[in-house]
Structure 1
């Protein structure tokens, strides 16, 4: 009921509260605001979308099954469409560190949709006799089955819209750079020491292959997210749901998302285990680990310009020092490592939260939801930024690469089959001590002829990838 133009009075099982009349959330959201002034971090946009899509699907199905009146069903559906199109986004206000299982965020959604549905029907916000957040928007549902489903859909949306597109562009760009740099020979390095020569292009092709394999792992892990426990209600029994509700909601969600979703074979299992989220998080963490390796490689190869490798030039995107003029730093690669470290930390928190469930429910789901979706999105945004602002503009220092390759003592490896390991080791040692070239020492010792050396120390052949023969 309306108290005055500024506030309305809402009531729940614990009593009354004044609610600012302009807001669309209600009394349970207000209590959550008061109870959880923790981080100031509000729910992720993708997580909101996931919850709203669930509410749209359930309103459609409950209306079709006659569980809620058609006019209310249509009003709720219209409200969900408005939110999905960008309206009322500022009404989802509960801190991510909140009541266990996500009840506060869930009721925030229910209340916003109920109050907007009331307006659509020509009624006042807060008149829950007409449209009730629990009895209508939440009909046949519980936080305990909605939030796990919300995490699944949020994860799928984040992967589809952010991480997979970023990976595809990164892979394509790395492969293009592989083609561009394929003719350039450089010194390989193992243990950060000189190793046999390699092609610069193959470095980039290797990174492309690494990311391709990670993307495949992500697709496999994400298949777990397509199995939904919606319909389990409070404890996985499906209490207070229509017999056709579970199947139909999954079908509608499949249409809305254009994804092959399916009902979980055991609703209790889907509610209790966070294994699907740990699995996806692990795949994201695994990708992050290799992204750190790639970003560190880029920094090493660009180190200098006078006292480092400087085999490549990363695009300078901003001045690198507040005191040293003309300095440019590999900031995109540095940023990539920092984000990846954060993703690894989120993964550890997810693992701890996943094991903390008891009996029929895991109450740590709000932490899992934020960490998982945020990890996917920040890693996707990072890879996209690294690709656009760094990898695409990399230039090769061909002369520096060749000089390192020709001066590497590791070239002696090619002599092993011809003069033996001990002779090759002696030649390398003498070269290091005297500064003479490997070629000159071998000739001086009469170990090989000039013609033989020209054939054996051919950098083009030495750096070529040996083809794989399939029998």
Structure 2
């Protein structure tokens, strides 16, 4: 039989497993919110530990907390940051909309780590009390959004941006490698005028450039922290200067330009900065889906499709059809794109759900936003490694498609006029002729003039006509 210790909180006594570092409020939450399998992500634990460490330093500097307790709290936070106590944060996402139970989970673990370090009994709340010391000058209502902002900034800058940049670079490298491969363009999924494979892929790289800029712009709002707002944004029970002091400590710990939110009533009653960041992630998801879908379309085949691209054969594609290879990296990335888009819907609805001085959808917003950041980072890395870096052009198929394209008739419009060039294209299609064969059969131009005028390379841009 498991051993328990009895802890006391405002609602009375409760049994807590003796070996665990959490306390009464965490235990009550475990019993009352046995909902789903989604746990708070480790990014929130890290962000909270950084925040609690910063707050301890600020409280000590302002004379609210003695140096001995401040050092104990800092040391406890460092232990949490090392990852040594990950199992001590077991709460599901689906708890109070303020995130109070998670804030108290962190406070209780800090308190008990300080007890352990000081040789006092777990749950004794001495020398560090979870509310009086670990939560000093703070509230769940200001620490949870602040921690979410910190986690989002760290997730984007440490994981997503590097993954996105390396994918962008891989796409750009392909664009350079394939700058001279002329292929047929497609609009409405029908043949259109030529371009190079390099030009096509340069568009993919440029999409990600735009997204990097867009995410960077959205990230600026998340640098504004609610720290020091306490319960409703007034800063009740926090000393003057606490918000600024704690925020500067966070800047020192993270090397990111966090600032105090200029109006904490807006920042705690709504979470528009997080909604805006999620919106930028949704745009990125759409761009990635477009890139992946285009590659899947151009690689379809290999015998009965377009087959202009040859994808890496990473694994067998069918349990029944021998030799089949599927575009699985495309499928994974496009599923991620849909999940991120769905997350954004939930985040947007949660962000619009603020009432008066608090938004009670904080855990939902944090969970979905951090999941989106992680999925996009991992998806970009996998797509680059297992598809982009191994994809090859099917030069013979590309050349064949160019040669048979009826859209090359566009080059004859300045000579024949639109109507006559259209007649030529329709005649070629109806009689299964090449455009050159049809032009000669209709006696519209000579063979020499056709070869001179209908040159796909001269159709790649205004600077290539001569």
TM-score, scaled to structure 2: 0.97
Q: CA deviation at 1:466?
A: 5.2
Asked if the contact 2:115–2:126 (Cα under 8 Å) also holds between the matched residues in 1, the reply is no
Asked if the contact 1:50–1:154 (Cα under 8 Å) also holds between the matched residues in 2, the reply is yes
Aligned with 1:189: secondary structure?
strand
Match of 1:223 among 210, 220, 224: 220
Aligned with 1:305: secondary structure?
coil
Instruction: Report whether the alignment pairs 1:421 with 2:418.
Output: yes
What is aligned with 1:48? 45
Q: CA deviation at 1:260?
A: 1.0
What is aligned with 1:396? 393
What is aligned with 1:281? 278
Q: CA deviation at 1:439?
A: 1.7
Instruction: Report whether the alignment pairs 1:457 with 2:454.
Output: yes
Q: CA deviation at 1:452?
A: 2.7
Q: CA deviation at 1:322?
A: 0.5
Asked if the contact 2:174–2:201 (Cα under 8 Å) also holds between the matched residues in 1, the reply is yes
Aligned with 1:39: secondary structure?
coil
What is aligned with 2:299? 302
- After TM superposition, the structure 1 = structure 2 runs for residues 98-109 of structure 1, keeping only pairs within 5 Å, are 98-109=95-106
What is aligned with 1:117? 114
Match of 1:130 among 127, 130, 137: 127
After superposition, what is the alpha-carbon deviation per residue over 1:183-242, rounded to whole angstroms, capped at 9, x for unaligned?
A: 111111111111111111111111000010011000000000001111001010011111
Instruction: Report whether the alignment pairs 1:412 with 2:390.
Output: no
Q: CA deviation at 1:451?
A: 3.3
Q: CA deviation at 1:129?
A: 4.0
Q: CA deviation at 1:5?
A: 9.2
Asked if the contact 2:183–2:196 (Cα under 8 Å) also holds between the matched residues in 1, the reply is yes
Instruction: Report whether the alignment pairs 1:184 with 2:178.
Output: no
After superposition, what is the alpha-carbon deviation per residue over 1:144-201, rounded to whole angstroms, capped at 9, x for unaligned?
A: 0001111111110110111101110011000110111111111111111111111111
Distance 1:279 1:333 in 2: 27
Asked if the contact 1:199–1:464 (Cα under 8 Å) also holds between the matched residues in 2, the reply is no
| Bigger mean CA deviation after superposition, 437-446 or 408-417 | 437-446
Distance 2:103 2:21 in 1: 14
Aligned with 2:132: secondary structure?
helix
Asked if the contact 2:120–2:126 (Cα under 8 Å) also holds between the matched residues in 1, the reply is no
After superposition, what is the alpha-carbon deviation per residue over 1:300-356, rounded to whole angstroms, capped at 9, x for unaligned?
A: 111111100110111111110010111110000001111110111100001111111
Q: CA deviation at 1:438?
A: 1.6
After the TM superposition, which parts of structure 1 deviate over 6 Å for at least 4 consecutive aligned residues?
A: none
Distance 2:98 2:441 in 1: 78
Aligned with 1:41: secondary structure?
coil
Distance 2:169 2:76 in 1: 40
After superposition, what is the alpha-carbon deviation per residue over 1:413-442, rounded to whole angstroms, capped at 9, x for unaligned?
A: 111111000000100111011122222332
Asked if the contact 2:194–2:459 (Cα under 8 Å) also holds between the matched residues in 1, the reply is yes
Structure 1: segments with no counterpart, 5+ residues: none
RMSD of the TM alignment (CA)? 1.4
Distance 2:40 2:232 in 1: 25
| Bigger mean CA deviation after superposition, 217-226 or 456-465 | 456-465
Distance 1:189 1:120 in 2: 68
Q: Cα distance 1:442–1:5, how it changes in 2: closer, same or farther (>3 A)? A: closer
What is aligned with 1:97? 94
Q: CA deviation at 1:357?
A: 1.3
- After TM superposition, the structure 1 = structure 2 runs for residues 17-166 of structure 1, keeping only pairs within 5 Å, are 17-166=14-163
Count of paired positions: 464
TM-score, scaled to structure 1: 0.96
What is aligned with 2:360? 363
Asked if the contact 1:354–1:364 (Cα under 8 Å) also holds between the matched residues in 2, the reply is yes
Distance 2:212 2:355 in 1: 33
Match of 2:317 among 317, 320, 325: 320
Match of 1:256 among 253, 258, 274: 253
Asked if the contact 1:186–1:401 (Cα under 8 Å) also holds between the matched residues in 2, the reply is yes
